[in-house]
Amino acid sequence: MTILVTGATGFVGTRLCAELRHIGRPPRALVRKESVTRDLEAAGHRISVADWETGAGLEAAMEGAEAVVHCAGGGRVRRRRDYWQQNTVTTRRLLEAIASPASTVKRLVLLSSLAAREPVSRYGESKKAAEQLTRDGSVPTAILRPPGIYGAGDDRLLPLFRSVKRGWAMVPHQHLLVPWLHVDDCVRAIIACLDSDLPSGTVLEVDDGQPRALGDILNLIAGLMDRRPPRVVQLPAPALYSAGAIAELGALLRGQSTLFNRDKARELLRKDLAMDASLARRVLGWAPQVALEVGLAETYDWLSTQGRLG
Ligand SMILES: NC(=O)c1ccc[n+]([C@@H]2O[C@H](COP(=O)([O-])OP(=O)(O)OC[C@H]3O[C@@H](n4cnc5c(N)ncnc54)[C@H](OP(=O)(O)O)[C@@H]3O)[C@@H](O)[C@H]2O)c1
């Protein structure tokens, strides 16, 4: 089965391509013209390039492919309208190419998000709209909804590590249980979806089954760093929202994308984060294998070797 992976330069896409190659199913890696492909090239992946705004190159990239995993997109943006382009428009372009008469694609796996369940943010809305497009599309689609994905190779937990290092942390909820998923468990769930014949449109929540309060995660990190648990200050909602607005303005002025903005602040403030991965366990035979303690230790090692802890 030839598998096309979109967003192959991203955190999840890179790990997925590596694992597929490792298990003897070398994928085709789809990137953008502006993507940095050095690591994919060094790993020996076959690379295709497409323009997601126009769809140019997508049909050629899919030639002979039987399955597509749509990892392109995500929550790093310059402007909040970018969520729509990177999550919804890319899905539309993909489905248009899959609907072409020459397409051989028989299965799509959409990497959606917990944020799509009951959206409180533009990111969540863009993911939910992408999910709906696949339900209206012509190809059987499995929809995965992970929570925050972490592991070596990604820096989204860096603020927590830095907080421990400086001895104090500001968090929106100290005691609210937050679900997580290690990137390797996410990759295993994606591959299980590729190999399944689930009814089209099946939505699968996947998490590691051990939601943790942010306060507990900070304590775990403190243990790894051999530091005292940080002093935790609970940030009131208006302050978090203002911090999001400032981060957003900063990103715009620097011309860089950011994970944290007013949109993310809204997500951080939501209270219903309980997940249910029982369907994924039952129909995919999937089970998470990486405990948060192990995954955080790996993340700490990676951040340290990258010199990211300051
Ligand atoms: N990481 C998480 O915590 C998490 C949680 C839930 C769901 N997800 C979903 O999982 C998927 C992969 O996430 P990730 O963490 O791997 O993201 P990531 O590291 O930020 O990578 C994003 C990937 O998408 C590509 N991309 C970004 N904007 C694009 C656009 N406008 N058009 C086409 N390609 C674009 C990037 O290509 P370039 O290299 O060219 O920029 C990159 O390959 C995303 O759909 C995300 O929403 C992630």
| 101 token code pair | 């008469």
Q: What is the pTM of this model?
A: 0.97
Ligand 1 and 76: CB distance under 6 A? yes
Q: Read off the amino acid at residue 125.
A: E
Ligand 1 and 244: CB distance under 6 A? no
Q: Report the pLDDT value the prediction gives residue 80, as an integer from 0 to 100.
A: 86
Compute mean pLDDT per 10 residues along the chain, 310 residues long, and list them. Answer: 97 98 98 97 97 96 98 94 96 98 97 97 97 96 98 96 96 91 98 96 97 95 97 93 93 93 92 93 98 98 95
State whether the Cα torsion 132-100-33-189 is positive or negative: positive
Candidates 70, 77, 113, 267: which one to mutate for ligand 1, based on the most atoms within 8 Å of Cβ?
113
Q: Report the pLDDT value the prediction gives residue 310, as an integer from 0 to 100.
A: 82
Phi and psi at 218, nearest 5°, equal: -60, -40
Exposed, middle or buried by CB within 10 Å (0-12, 13-18, 19+), for 1? exposed
Q: Report the pLDDT value the prediction gives residue 53, as an integer from 0 to 100.
A: 92
Phi and psi at 190, nearest 5°, equal: -65, -45
Candidates 111, 125, 208, 256: which one to mutate for ligand 1, based on the most atoms within 8 Å of Cβ?
111
Q: Report the pLDDT value the prediction gives residue 272, as an integer from 0 to 100.
A: 77
Q: Report the pLDDT value the prediction gives residue 174, as an integer from 0 to 100.
A: 85
- Collect all residues with Cβ–Cβ distance below 8 Å to 17 and sequence separation of at least 6: 5, 8, 27, 29, 40, 43, 45
Q: Which helix (H) or strand (E) holds 284?
A: helix 278-284
Q: Whose CA is nearest to atom 38 of ligand 1?
A: 35
Ligand 1 and 13: CB distance under 6 A? yes
What domains does the chain contain, in order, with CATH numbers? 3-150+181-207+273-289 (3.40.50.720)
Exposed, middle or buried by CB within 10 Å (0-12, 13-18, 19+), for 54? exposed
Q: Report the pLDDT value the prediction gives residue 70, as an integer from 0 to 100.
A: 98
Pick from 234, 228, 113: which is nearest to 165 by CA? 228
CB 170 within 8 A of CB 129: no
